[in-house]
Structure 1
Amino acid sequence: MTSYKQGLLLLHIMERFADIQLLRYKLKDFETLTIRQKRLVYCLSQATLWGRDITFDQHGSYNLKIRKILEICFPDSEYLKRVWFSSGIHHHYSCQKFLPDFTKQDFIQAVMSCPKENLPLDKGQTVDDLIAELLPVMFDSEVMPQRVNQRQGEDLVATSACNFYNGVTQEEAVSFYENKKKEWVENHPEASKDELPSFGLNSRLVKNGTDITEETYKIGGKYSAYIEKIVFWLEKAIEFAEDESQKEVIASLVSYYKSGDLKEFDEYSIKWVGQTSPRVDFINGFIEVYGDPIGLKGSWEGIVHYKDLEATHRTEILAENAQWFEDNSPVDSRFKKPVVTGVTANVVCCAMLGGDEYPATAIGINLPNADWIRAKHGSKSITISNITAAYDNASKHSGFREEYIDDADTLQLIGKYGYITDDLHTDLHECLGHGSGQMASGVSLDMLKSYASTIEEARADLFGLYYMADPKLVELSLLPNEEAYKAQYYTYMLNGLLTQCVRIPIGEDIQEAHMRNRAIIANWVYAKAKCACEEKSSQKPCVELYEVNGKTYMRINDYPALRTLFGELLAEVQRIKSEGDHDAARDLVETYGVKINQKTHKEIKNRYEKLGIAPYKGFINPVLTEVVDADGNVTDVVANYTESYSEQMMRYSKEYSA
């Protein structure tokens, strides 16, 4: 019998373009779901796929036009494949604009030869006008160069190409939402000042003349044609909900999509957190704010998943012991939760990816993002087992570890424990890290402004790193022994200090929040270890870099000391978040999380390029099809894994565009 992991190897397709490799994920144990659960998955998957064009438009105002022209005129180009993957013309991870693999003249000739009725012309726009509009956007590297700009000292809103703002400066945007908060507090004297809606999450901010207004994402508002389709399938999903609580959750989301009222979104989030019994669950909506340079606007995303029953036992143990982890955290007692509420964590199998989670996706998610809901009602976390398994299988025999690790014992350790410690760190990050700690009264995460996302990710990572080495994990049978954690410590520090820079062009700074987070942790620890060593000249630093034949390697000399430093940084990062200390957040990020040593950067990239590995991975969704009998009854839902990347993208553009 073919094992699950062997099946994954058979499903992988090694289609490769630019810096991207495409994989498939298998719906593990999908056949064990009931027909009702399968039909629920199917309906929720349709709702997920209908958000695709919203993401394209949020990533940039020209993306849908460009995609449509490319699908007609350049269907086999690498540029189109990259546009599909990134939901636009900016790299999905670095957010930098990439340029076509054909010339301006090729583009002009192709568009001029295309039937006019097939082109995405605005009302009254000529073909010449369309070409003139798109040429600088596509071919000029200085026009809209960065989807999300995070460079200190610049107007982050005005210099970012994302489509959350139009004609608005950063100062105006921040002021607009500060005023909304003040107005809300004045108009709701009975409500807690800590329980404000997430203002700006589901809207585009537009300036006309001197007036600044919001275009709210809802039925009857912006993206209405797509949201109507999403709502249609959500309402169909209600028919197959597993229990009454799930029906209420879906109905609450539908109500929010109809009104656009962020208080309804909070009500939905509270119901969603409280609904834990069904095996099938989903994320659908304007959620994460990484795509907004000032961290207010939610990008549309969708995931449908079902519990991996066997693996969920691991996260259930963490959730059951959440209070112990909170109580024993190295952070100041003022910032610990006296009572941890409603921690729910599952290992799941993804059944469908959509929006900002497709084709590249997270391996773990913790929601909701509102800190007051976490504190009062709890949170739900997922680790996506069929995605992490696909990544693990794709990494085998790549030569990556052998190139960057100059120690046989460490290689053996990582080979033995790397996969399980990676998953466990993700569990700790999502299940406990994001849900840990509490804010000081009157403080909100958005006080950290553009640094908020990076600080929050660093906090969750540090929580996981600190506890990876705790004997409690062996006691709970989450790790096999007290040596296993070292695999995670080594790979994390190696990535943060050296190897994650292979994803960044030479000469560029680190922009993405997760990469900045990892750089902060690794560089801060390295700097502190070096200082401690200099103070005690006879002692080796707990972590050091060294060269052999012109190649840079990393060595960890003292794992317990490394854990102590992780704990010290965790305490400081939690303080920064809890007190809303913007200046300390800025200093931490700008000092340790942005710049890369250029000499080392070139060396690490050169070594990586010789391996022939794509630094980024993404996924092709399975095709879910309802099986109908002679009487018209749906008797099953089956998954097919044969659709190619281009076939899938072309089909999605045809079937899920309003």
Structure 2
Amino acid sequence: MSVPSHLLADEKAPVCRLEIQPHFDNLSAKEKLYAHHISKASFAGTRVVLRQVSPESEPLFDLILTVARHVENDFSKIVEACNVTEDEKNKFAEFGAQVLANLGNYKSFGDQKFVPRIPEETFTKIASITPEAAKLWEGIKKQVYQISPEGITLLGYPPDHMSAYYPDSPAITQADIEACGETFVKNGVLVEHTRLKQLDDGSFDMLVASEKVGEGSVYETKDGRKIRTVYGDHSKEMKVMSDELDGAKKAALNDTQEKMMEEYVKSFREGSLEAHKESQRYWIKDIGPTIETNIGFIETYRDPAGTKAYFEGWVAVVNKERTKVFGKLVERAGDFIPKLPWSKDFEKDKFQKPDFTSLEGNDGIPAGINIPNYDDIRMTLGFKNVSLGNVLNAKSPSEKVTFIDEKDLPLFERLRGPAFELQVGLHELLGHGSGKLLQETEKGVFNFDKESPPVSPLTGKPVTTYYKVGETWGSVFGATAASYEECRAECVAMYLCPDREILEVFGHTDDTEAAAEDVLYISYLQMARAGLLALEFWDPKTKARTTF
């Protein structure tokens, strides 16, 4: 069976260099040590991510590194050693680079599988370069090239699609997953750091990421099936993380960071998400740090149920000059939020001014981040925003700009950075940072006037629904929760970016080199182009998006 072109690994993919050296060089020895330990802890999560993508991702990762070590990273040696052509060698290297960049054989943005551009026989010849690589390849070669049934090429609910959040569970269904989800909500169980395994008798193991190994509470679904709590998923990796974060604790730059690291360690050693929530409370209180970081099971985009999160860890250096701009936006947030097209009843009683920093970080992280995602913490303590300056400005010299008219191209090239910074700043602070969930916080207690509820700006009538006790955004909206929230934040950014006062906060007026009207024009042009590029992630056969 021939492989459809959209499933083939990228050819000559653009590579962007992220500049951070000057910022890192300015750190003190203690700051560098603090960053070093957190970086090591983050990298220890590599295999956790691989295991959250597909069963073949981790052995494929090992195979690529085994070959690279054997040829001492000189892939030209493969040509003679394996009797392959220069083109075949290049295609193997490009596939390997894509696996390493995505930490798996499914795109980290798009959730679609990609397969090598070389035949299976050629890949087998290259893998035979060492006995270790050959053995790894023998166990996964069918999965790497598998594209049928078609659903297996997309992450989603098993058994029709691929999801490693439900390992060794060939018979598990969406109904099974939802039944367990209802049980977890009913019992107040946090599942972001878990995976779910169905046993032969139809019962389940909830696999908890932790250094400790053992069993915990047992729950029961509505139809009487048991769910057993099993600690020790990724135990080896969680120990390495905990040990490194212990080192970061010793190098912490203040008491708040020390307590934050202490809670991270407790969370990863014991499998306690309550400890992780406590770490996030300290993180919010760590205002204006030189080194910014976060680590844990954070975003739920890739779990089809929208409740289990993938691991991520990052550490970055604050860019103090750009941070001043975002600080001005934070100070004026109380002036800008009321301009949104809904009443104050849909906003928090008091806007918690967050820390908003511009960072210089390493690869694999987005242009902007707004966390924590725990609703109860966001409602009471608030959140923090970060903007990754070197990611915002990263551009490959070989990148071809599509869908932009020739007459707009010079302006687009010149202002795409400032326009994207405007969009990301508004998206993160006033998009994710605005609004509140109407909730029954505990039985009979509401965070809004239940007898005289807010009037919907869409219907003109009082709202009739709200979140019940134990319900969260993710548990209610499931797989669409993340995309829904991202679209909401994006719409807020597009709604507010024409505001002249906001444009001036970012340094754009009629008299500046990056003129306000031009930046606004490129902001909308950039969003329109993003919409066209997003069509790549629509699968007409399955009638589904391949990303959220």
Shorter-chain TM-score tier: 0.7 to 0.9
- Residues 215-614 of structure 1 aligned to structure 2 (within 5 Å): 215-220=207-212, 221-350=232-361, 352-353=362-363, 358=364, 361-391=365-395, 394=396, 400=401, 404-405=404-405, 408=407, 410-411=408-409, 413-442=411-440, 443=467, 444-446=472-474, 447-476=476-505, 478-481=507-510, 482-483=516-517, 484-496=519-531, 498-501=532-535, 511-513=545-547
CA distance in 2, matches of 1:293, 1:418: 33
More helix by share: 1
> What RMSD in Å do the two structures reach over aligned CA positions?
2.8
Alignment partner of 2:360: what SS? strand
* Cα separation, partners in 2 of 1:509 and 1:362, compared to 1, 3 Å: farther
Alignment partner of 1:250: what SS? helix
* Partner residue in 1 for 2:103: 87
Deviation at 1:294, TM superposition (A): 1.7
CA distance in 2, matches of 1:300, 1:508: 28
* Partner residue in 2 for 1:141: 147
* Partner residue in 2 for 1:202: 193
Q: 1:213 aligns with which of 205, 209, 216?
A: 205
Deviation at 1:20, TM superposition (A): 2.5
* Partner residue in 2 for 1:638: none
Segment drifting more, 79-88 vs 378-387: 79-88
Is contact 2:14–2:399 with CA below 8 Å preserved after alignment?
Answer: no
One-letter amino acid matched to 1:96: Q
- Residues 107-186 of structure 1 aligned to structure 2 (within 5 Å): 107=123, 114-115=130-131, 119-120=135-136, 131=138, 133-142=139-148, 146=152, 148-149=154-155, 156-166=157-167, 167=169, 168-184=172-188
Matched, 1:24 2:17: yes
**Runs (5+) with no aligned partner, structure 2:** 1-8, 69-74, 76-88, 213-231, 441-466, 511-515
Deviation at 1:390, TM superposition (A): 1.9
Name the count of aligned residue pairs.
Answer: 457
Structure of greater relative contact order (alpha carbons < 8 Å, 6+ residues apart): 1
Is contact 1:344–1:380 with CA below 8 Å preserved after alignment?
Answer: yes
CA distance in 2, matches of 1:111, 1:422: 42
Q: What percentage of residue pairs aligned between the two structures are identical?
A: 20
Deviation at 1:247, TM superposition (A): 0.5
One-letter amino acid matched to 1:404: I
Q: Deviations over 1:326-375 (max 9, x none)?
A: 2221124331223111422111111x45xxxx3xx311111011222111
Deviation at 1:181, TM superposition (A): 1.9
* Cα separation, partners in 2 of 1:243 and 1:176, compared to 1, 3 Å: same
Deviation at 1:448, TM superposition (A): 1.3
Segment drifting more, 140-149 vs 62-71: 140-149
* Partner residue in 2 for 1:609: none
* Partner residue in 1 for 2:456: none
* Partner residue in 2 for 1:567: none
One-letter amino acid matched to 1:246: Q
Q: Deviations over 1:126-172 (max 9, x none)?
A: xxxx73x523312221158546546xxxxx24333231113232222
**Runs (5+) with no aligned partner, structure 1:** 1-15, 121-129, 151-155, 185-196, 515-658
One-letter amino acid matched to 2:18: Y
* Partner residue in 2 for 1:63: 57
Alignment partner of 1:287: what SS? strand
* Partner residue in 1 for 2:216: none
Q: TM-score, normalised by structure 2?
A: 0.77
CA distance in 1, matches of 2:431, 2:275: 27
Deviation at 1:501, TM superposition (A): 3.5
* Cα separation, partners in 2 of 1:233 and 1:149, compared to 1, 3 Å: closer
Is contact 1:253–1:265 with CA below 8 Å preserved after alignment?
Answer: yes
CA distance in 2, matches of 1:106, 1:495: 37
